[in-house]
Structure 1
């Protein structure tokens, strides 16, 4: 349900530019450019080529860009913050003590290597003894924050009643994350599958399986996951909320999927009083039901054992960690070396004690003034989007009214929540193993999510922690959120020129706002309910424009003969296009936007588009390009620049791009939605 976009923001005010051009900080660094390439030839290379040459890909990354630079700065801040906690005695039971202890456990390589597979031995023994009657309880135990064998479940707002928390059952069971890794047979996919089977066998051997038994178990795991992949929804289908909304009574659930003991399952999860559930992939659940009834106990045990070991591997000894890296990072993404231990250890408190870390982070790094400035900028962008909606030629007046009502109903969350999470019942015991503690925190988080069942939806709740370098739009609450982590230098610079700030932070704000009107968000009303508020003619006009936009992206080759997937990335592409147009309109209302004052030889309009392109500067491995094309609903950085900009008249005018240039797109082929 959550729509997030991996963007990074910079802050500006609509009313700035009271300074002279000479006093401004440079928002666009000329060193980022590759002036050997003409803007009309390849604008992405022109705008970002200098940065890419100066920042060759570090082997610990599969992709590194300006976004990742900001994330790295954030990690350094968090590391210094957490290391500072250990300099003074910490009271037992405090959030600071829990954060420091779990981080230190992750850093203790001597202890981790000495323990080997001991932390998983007892639980693994339980799985190895499981009988058919134990399946439901085991599934619930694993799905309680650890893994997703066969399927997944959770609690979130009902698609059609945003005040109601509903229990959902989702498709799952594929540890490679996407059905295509099991079904396609190109060279890269085959290599990934081969690495995956080797990994399954390796970690099972490390866990105590004999060589022959581990090899046989690896075959069993791949066979089960392949069967689940064969019936899983495609990426494109998974964007269709109508297809996902299938309400089952408990009686029907028990009848249609009788090989799961649902009473035992819900009891083990600690969820009571479930009368209806939403099954997002009935075909997948039918296959799960079939497999649980037909597979031998040995095969099910092998699969469940691997799902458990796979979840634990990153938190065990170095041999487990290396095996995990070799498949998920090296084979899948093209990374060459692991991140240093401190970065991996930092991820645990940052994710599993996120608000505790966030509260410490905000107190040290986030000035309150940033929140006020950001709120003002959001208001300016909202006005601009409202004007765009009012002047649309393809939308009827009736639908425009509903769109404007939705826009003006947006909840805006900036910086950090008003109320912090309570971690008093979360436990960290330094006398226990690292994995035991990580498992306890994962289960604590899962129980927090499940505890929302039967309660009204908490619309004050945040879907991201304050220290996250990201932003999101959430349809069920009709909210946009910009955490504190993205509101800092180099992307938040109130002394930079307006063109640079609007080209970065402005586009991101507009992007998130536009998500409320993309191919998914448009199906939800101002209250977050899945209600059709469009006329038939307007819906058809939108679909026609969206299809045309999708075809532009699908025409792009990303690697070898593989094309981008314009249907899968549709929402983000609409968000990019809308964000660009809305931010540009807001920028043109500033004093700088109305002038033609040059900085470093560039006009304000040129700096706006250069700033946008610099947001997406990155170097990336071929493996990561292919992986993201399969699993990431965002287009690659190059396409987010070159394809999106080729629909904007102002871009062509800014750089004098004409017919015959590679960046040119004929007016009749351009697409404008928002």
Structure 2
């Protein structure tokens, strides 16, 4: 299992299923200024003080105190659903990547250049119309029975078309030296079961818009009776949603570990031909993991009694959605109108070059990454990060020793786990080989299909092989970080190691509050409510005493209650149980980073800079990376689908720190003030 810092979408199902997410920091206060050789990028010491709103009391709203002026003065670009520090760095990363690709496309022998050239040739895409996807759509249309449906759905999965179930190869949580086939629930066109089942006005409006969208896409594909078929598909997906597990259930590492043979699966879910489904991709697994067995059973039963025409429509529409960006604007714009605008509130599609950069990152990411790190990731940054990571790991060791709620037996095991960590910084030691991937300058859709097939084969090809310990789940251009429980590793791509997260010219307090807390966050994920279930070998295995578990549960329940109380919109609350892993990551990460900062002072007092003490600058550095403005639709969607709390509430985790109270002296009675007995301390 993995967890991401920023919540970026994984490009492969295996990554999505094995990562526990971190979340994108928000954009820095102001746009970067050109720093001189000895000055930081932001402000006088690495923090954009001009973005503060000092009319707000820290004890009422620390996020607004640190970021209020920035929030008021920073519009969200028309092609974004939210905007913050992560976006600022992502814009920089994509601009740099664009330059790499534009240079590469001048070379007809460059694979990344040819792939980018094919994407940028919008005129050819428009001229071809739907002809490139017609053979595949005709194959879907030609299905006549359930066995044929299983075969075509499996073929679609290999080419990147989501079907009734999702499957991938990953580590066996209880045998982390072995790869195993895993499968999860699927089959929904909306982001989550709640979109079908929530009876509130907002969700009802989205459902109405979704049915209209399905009708439009069927019409664009040249299908008849689009209105009736869209309604039938919505009815089917609603029944699927009823058997799906919730987000909270699906993040439980114990509940989702269900190992069975293929024969057992067929007995458990007799309505679907799983042997045919897997055999279509050359798979005859001796055993597999089923994450949500009751959902799979329910989905299989629904498939067995649903007309084949409805099942075909589900695949056809999933195909149009999966390939929309590689098809003419008539399809791509219609797809964006629903998934981009209705669901996320984004007014405009990104410019073509931005989408092209994203495609290259997803299809040939490490091939691009080799050039990126050579140009934009100096060895000095990697060396500085090595030091920071070691300091944070050391601080975590000291914090473990001081825990009042953990037994000595568990502390000893916790130290073993800490000693087993592998930090990965910047880029892989071993790069991917894309020699088998065919790329053509005149075949954008084909490039996308072949890329998906190439990635699928790479993933499935792991079965029976030793664990790929050199492998990365992100490209160097990613503004993110992650923790991988099975590998016992924490990973920091090159592109996040820039201001406001990390600036060699900034005051150390700000760096520890920024990238130091990011390091601590990923480290703390290995000790959150799910990560702590994995031992020092990466095995899902309870290594605590029963009393340790009870003590930990009492603390996490208290933290969950804090987040349950947050209400961004009337009646729409943050879900403390759903965001628990990220909340623990923030609480533990900030605590470890603060201890590491204090240790770095070597017993000397921190200097006062611009009237701010060291601890004040540390907490402001933390707040700065979470600056983010959301469109309402995007924030509402995140409350349902994102395991991270909204950025404001991530910032306000400071309310649990005695050092924050000492630094800012908030008066009792403030909106985020907590009495000492109510402050949560876990790691």
Selected match of 1:304 from 301, 307, 315:
315
CA contact (8 A) 2:270 2:301 kept: no
2:568 alignment partner, SS class:
strand
Deviations 1:428-461 (CA, angstroms, capped at 9, x unpaired): 12233x2121111111111111111121221221
Alignment-derived partner of residue 425 in structure 1: 436
CA contact (8 A) 1:24 1:497 kept: no
CA contact (8 A) 2:5 2:24 kept: no
TM, length-normalised to structure 2: 0.93
Selected match of 1:650 from 659, 664, 667:
659
Matched, 1:251 2:245: no
Alignment-derived partner of residue 31 in structure 1: 50
1:389 alignment partner, SS class:
helix
Selected match of 1:494 from 486, 496, 504:
504
Matched, 1:115 2:128: yes
Matched, 1:665 2:674: yes
Alignment-derived partner of residue 346 in structure 2: 335
Selected match of 2:466 from 456, 474, 481:
456
CA contact (8 A) 1:410 1:478 kept: yes
Deviations 1:102-133 (CA, angstroms, capped at 9, x unpaired): 22222222222222222221211111110213
Matched, 1:263 2:275: yes
Q: State the alpha-carbon separation in 1 of the partners of residues 352 and 464 from structure 2.
A: 41
Q: State the alpha-carbon separation in 1 of the partners of residues 604 and 660 from structure 2.
A: 16
Alignment-derived partner of residue 53 in structure 1: 72
Q: How does 1:481-630 map to 2 (within 5 A)?
A: 481-591=491-601, 594-630=604-640
1:258 alignment partner, SS class:
coil
Deviations 1:384-409 (CA, angstroms, capped at 9, x unpaired): 01100100001110111111110111
Selected match of 2:361 from 350, 371, 380:
350
How far is 1:271 from its partner? Answer: 2.6
In 2 relative to 1, CA 422–201 (structure 1 residues): closer, same or farther, beyond 3 Å?
Answer: same
Matched, 1:149 2:133: no
CA contact (8 A) 1:271 1:451 kept: no
Selected match of 1:193 from 200, 207, 213:
207
1:646 alignment partner, SS class:
helix
2:587 alignment partner, SS class:
helix
Selected match of 2:480 from 470, 473, 477:
470
How far is 1:5 from its partner? Answer: 1.5
Deviations 1:251-292 (CA, angstroms, capped at 9, x unpaired): 2223333343333322321234x1111111111221222123
Q: State the alpha-carbon separation in 2 of the partners of residues 424 and 413 from structure 1.
A: 25
Matched, 1:181 2:177: no
1:243 alignment partner, SS class:
coil
1:270 alignment partner, SS class:
coil
How far is 1:313 from its partner? Answer: 1.5
CA contact (8 A) 1:169 1:277 kept: yes
CA contact (8 A) 1:150 1:228 kept: no
How far is 1:2 from its partner? Answer: 2.1
CA contact (8 A) 2:424 2:492 kept: yes
1:625 alignment partner, SS class:
helix
Q: State the alpha-carbon separation in 1 of the partners of residues 580 and 78 from structure 2.
A: 31
Q: How does 1:167-178 map to 2 (within 5 A)?
A: 167-178=181-192
Note the residue ranges of structure 1 that are not aligned, 5 or more in a row: 11-18, 92-96
How far is 1:201 from its partner? Answer: 1.2
Q: State the alpha-carbon separation in 1 of the partners of residues 363 and 77 from structure 2.
A: 27
How far is 1:503 from its partner? Answer: 0.6
Q: State the alpha-carbon separation in 2 of the partners of residues 553 and 51 from structure 1.
A: 24
How far is 1:560 from its partner? Answer: 2.3
Alignment-derived partner of residue 13 in structure 1: none
Q: State the alpha-carbon separation in 2 of the partners of residues 189 and 259 from structure 1.
A: 30
In 2 relative to 1, CA 24–439 (structure 1 residues): closer, same or farther, beyond 3 Å?
Answer: closer
Deviations 1:359-393 (CA, angstroms, capped at 9, x unpaired): 11111111122112111110100010110010000
1:244 alignment partner, SS class:
coil
Judge which range, 259-268 or 58-67, deviates more: 259-268
CA contact (8 A) 1:33 1:49 kept: yes
CA contact (8 A) 1:8 1:491 kept: no
Q: State the alpha-carbon separation in 1 of the partners of residues 349 and 138 from structure 2.
A: 30
Matched, 1:217 2:229: yes
Q: How many residues in Structure 1 have an aligned counterpart in Structure 2? A: 654
Alignment-derived partner of residue 5 in structure 2: 5
Selected match of 2:141 from 115, 120, 128:
128
CA contact (8 A) 1:30 1:600 kept: no
Alignment-derived partner of residue 13 in structure 2: none
Q: State the alpha-carbon separation in 2 of the partners of residues 560 and 326 from structure 1.
A: 26
Alignment-derived partner of residue 98 in structure 2: 79
How far is 1:505 from its partner? Answer: 0.7
How far is 1:8 from its partner? Answer: 6.2
Alignment-derived partner of residue 105 in structure 1: 118
Judge which range, 306-315 or 159-168, deviates more: 306-315
Matched, 1:444 2:454: yes
Q: How does 1:223-302 map to 2 (within 5 A)?
A: 223-272=235-284, 274-302=285-313
1:164 alignment partner, SS class:
strand
How far is 1:145 from its partner? Answer: 4.1
Deviations 1:195-217 (CA, angstroms, capped at 9, x unpaired): 2212211111111113xx21122
Judge which range, 125-134 or 263-272, deviates more: 263-272
Q: State the alpha-carbon separation in 1 of the partners of residues 159 and 555 from structure 2.
A: 41
Q: State the alpha-carbon separation in 2 of the partners of residues 592 and 340 from structure 1.
A: 50
Q: State the alpha-carbon separation in 1 of the partners of residues 321 and 302 from structure 2.
A: 21
Selected match of 1:403 from 393, 403, 414:
414
